[in-house]
Structures are given as structure tokens and as C-alpha cells.
Amino acid sequence: NPYLQYFYETGRILARQRTSPTRAAEVAEAESDLLRRYADPRTVWDPQMLLVRLGASYSAAAAALAVDLHEGAGTHVVNVANHGALPGLPADAVVETTCRVGPSGAVPRPTAPLIEPVRGLASQVKDYERYAIVAAVCGDVRAARKALLTHPLCPDATVTGRLLDDLLASNAAWLPAFAS
């Protein structure tokens, strides 16, 4: 999983981010360019233009998923409630896993238990997600603080308050539950 680099190679990733644009900045620039191009009615759709954003395959995957949800039965990697698909994680945890998809929905295919240390990391991230959901939905600052403290990439408990204040201020438009 390419996301594991952020947890297991944090120093290398941070060093790269200090000298290079972030992935979010690269995607924002690519999307801005795409929107500018598509504003011209003479522009013809070109999947190669989406490769810059690494999104060309997403549209094909989404179309195949839509077909199978409507009339087929195919195998897709999607996010679903765990319900035992990944042993060791809560049943109601959302997991990204291989599923059989058809008109009745997505049914996860059971997998082997996660190996250590990945199981511990996955459990810690799921705890973070639970706190973050409560925080975002309820505007619960204590849950938000617990989410940050629980996240494996939390830099230090002593900076959590300042980090939370900065996150809430920077994202106030998208977090209306914290406005009161």
C-alpha cells in the first residue's frame, strides 16, 4: 500500500515535502489546468490529460463499478463496512478491500488477518477515524484532540492544542459544527 510510506518512512517524506510541492498542490495545479482547457468548447476529451492527476483509471473503474452495481457481478476494490472481512478490526469499521459487486451491493471477500505491525497501525488509524468522525459531526473539540493524539503521525502531544487550533481555523468553512 503506497500510503504506508507516510507511516514507515515519515522522515523521508517530510524531507521531500520541504523541497517539493505537496501532492495536494500538484493535483490542484493539474485540476486548474484541466478546467482551463475544458473551458474551451473545442477541447476534445483526452484521457492522457488525466494521467498528470493520476485519475485516468478512476473514471474507467467508476464506470465498471456502476455497470456491475446495475446489472453485473464483478470484483472491485471498494470501501465497505468490515463485517469480518479484515479479522481483528471492528465489524463496523470502514475498510478498503476486494468485494464482489452486483445489483445487491458490495460483499467483502474475507482475507487473512493483517500481519504485525500493520494490524497495530490499522487499529490505531481506525481509532483515530472514530474520534475524527465524532469531532466533525458533533463539533466536539475533545474528540478532535483525541483524534490528533491517536493518529500515528501526531508529532507530539504538547503541540496538539496549537495544531488543532490551526486546523479548525484553516478549515472553518468546511467544519460548521465547530462554529458555535
3-class SS letters over 32-90: HHHHHHHCCCCCCCCHHHHHCCCCHHHHHHHHHHHHHHHCCCEEEEEEEECCCCCCCCC
The three-state secondary structure class of 12 is helix
Rounded to two decimals, the pTM is 0.77
pLDDT in the model for residue 27 = 81
Q: Does pLDDT of 10 surpass 90?
A: yes
pLDDT in the model for residue 40 = 86
Task: Give the H/E segment covering residue 180.
Answer: none
Q: Does pLDDT of 77 surpass 90?
A: yes
Average pLDDT, the chain: 88
pLDDT in the model for residue 180 = 67
The three-state secondary structure class of 109 is coil
**Mean pLDDT across the stretch 59-82?**
90
Q: 69-73, 103-107, 130-134: which has the minimum mean pLDDT?
A: 69-73
Query: How many Cβ atoms are within 10 Å of 99's Cβ, its own excluded?
Result: 22
Q: For residue range 124-161, what is the model confidence (pLDDT) as tens digits?
A: 999 999 999 999 889 999 999 999 999 999 988 899 99
Q: For residue range 47-57, what is the model confidence (pLDDT) as tens digits?
A: 676 666 666 57
pLDDT in the model for residue 37 = 83
CB 136 within 8 A of CB 175: yes
Residues near 54 by Cβ (< 8 Å), separated by ≥ 6?
A: none
**Mean pLDDT across the stretch 31-58?**
75
Q: 16-20, 56-60, 127-131: which has the minimum mean pLDDT?
A: 56-60
Q: Does pLDDT of 42 surpass 70?
A: yes
d(CA 81, CA 178): 27
Residue 98: phi, psi to the nearest 5? Answer: -70, 130
Q: Does pLDDT of 121 surpass 80?
A: yes
Residue 74: phi, psi to the nearest 5? Answer: -130, 175
